[in-house]
Amino acid sequence: NDVLLEVKNLKKHFISRHGLMGQHTTTVQAVDGVSFKILRGETLGLVGESGCGKSTTGRTIIRLYDVTSGEIIFDGVDISRIKQREMRQYRKKIQMIFQDPYASLNSRMTVGDIIGEPIDIHNIAKGEERQKIIWNLLERVGLNKEHANRYPHEFSGGQRQRIGIARALAVSPKFIICDEPISALDVSIQAQVVNMLQDLQNELGLTYLFIAHDLSMVKHISDRIGVMYLGKLVELANADELYDSPNHPYTQALLSAIPVPDPDATKQGQRIVLEGDVPSPINPPSGCHFRTRCRYAMDICKEVEPEFLEISPNHFSACHLNTIEK
Ligand code: SF4
Ligand code: MG
């Protein structure tokens, strides 16, 4: 089976109680019916503005959150409802790296112990063998064994992200959820980390879900890209196709916001300015969630939610413009 991960109609709603007796509830529809597959060895990019549900999707897949509904099929097994105790064996196969490596690294532990922790938790090795694995991992991510005795604050942002990656690799995972791993880094460092992730993928046969808030870097690492808006996937296509012929008005706006090196390039379209912020996922607009910011919005967009349809082979989009008579 070529499919490593399949997410089917995944929903993650957060319900908060308030009022004196907790009698009122608010439901945040953070992830509201998302479906996609990731093939073995592939990188699926997941892109959208903050609050679109991309991080929540990643965190729900690794079961940092309980699933509201839907299925998460990893390597043929539905892990959406298994107990946290059973989830342990999947934590060995599925790892996550985070946007802020400093927050995710324990500042009072040496780098060696930070990387060694998952090795201990999963009983992978002890003593000298454990030490060798740690040194090896440090070298794999472009650091060296002298770094094992130092503390996170002694490293730059890019180096800390390398430490986070080494830690994720310590359990020999198959699948890594990269949650904006380069967003907090200097632009000059971003490409280095992306290149390293790609090298590691090739050497170790890894599969990635790569989450990002804009489309500028994901193109280089992703085979396919999904675009999310307010809890839903609005477009999904091969990376090149998405860049060359974006279908959804939201994707078009995101792409037009990427600075093009040559301003006279023929492909340079007009910049589409997205007015306003993403509406609240507590009360998303009816019909098409994007309609309040869409320059093509029609009457039907308010009434009917557009279906996520295959508009050409392996290219999916959810917009009424694809089905209305022209
Ligand atoms: Fe715009 Fe309507 Fe398409 Fe939504 S369905 S993206 S509002 S044209
Ligand atoms: Mg995020």
What value of ipTM does the predicted structure carry? 0.93
- What is 71-97 written as a DSSP string? EEEETTEE-SS--HHHHHHHHTTEEEE
If you measure from the C-alpha of residue 322 to the centroid of ligand 2, how many angstroms do you get, rounded to a whole number?
30
pLDDT band, residue 271 (cuts 50/70/90): confident
Amino acid at 162: R
pLDDT surpassing 90 at residue 41: yes
List the chain domain ranges: 3-93+173-272
If you measure from the C-alpha of residue 250 to the centroid of ligand 1, how many angstroms do you get, rounded to a whole number?
9
pLDDT surpassing 60 at residue 264: no
Q: Considering every ligand atom, which ligand is closest to the CA of 48? A: 2
Q: What is the mean pLDDT of residues 12-24?
A: 85
CATH number assigned to the domain covering 3-93+173-272: 3.40.50.300
Q: What is the pTM of this model?
A: 0.93
41 half-sphere exposure, CB direction, 13 A CA radius: 6
Residue 321: other Cβ atoms inside 10 A: 16
pLDDT surpassing 70 at residue 262: no
> What sign for the dihedral angle of Cα 65, 66, 68, 71?
positive
Q: What is the mean pLDDT of residues 247-258?
A: 92
Query: Using CA atoms, how far apart are residues 212 and 243, in angstroms rounded to an integer?
Result: 15
Ligand 1: which atom is nearest the Cα of residue 234? 6
Pocket test for ligand 1, best of 294, 295, 317, 326 (most atoms within 8 A of CB): 294
Q: What is the mean pLDDT of residues 239-261?
A: 89
Of 62, 5, 77, which Cα lies nearest the Cα of 37?
5
Amino acid at 252: Q
Of 305, 319, 299, 310, which Cα lies nearest the Cα of 29?
305
Q: In this predicted structure, what is the pLDDT of residue 266?
A: 47
pLDDT surpassing 80 at residue 1: no
Q: In this predicted structure, what is the pLDDT of residue 267?
A: 52
Look at strands 77-78 and 232-238 and give their pairing. Answer: unpaired
| Mean pLDDT score across all residues of the chain | 92
If you measure from the C-alpha of residue 32 to the centroid of ligand 2, how many angstroms do you get, rounded to a whole number?
16
pLDDT surpassing 60 at residue 66: yes
Q: What is the pLDDT of residues 165-204, one digit of tens each?
A: 999 999 999 999 999 998 888 888 999 999 999 999 999 9
The answer to whether 296 touches 249, Cβ cutoff 8 Å, is: yes
Q: What is the pLDDT of residues 96-120, one digit of tens each?
A: 999 877 777 888 999 999 999 999 9
Q: What is the pLDDT of residues 123-163, one digit of tens each?
A: 999 999 999 999 999 999 999 999 999 999 999 999 999 99
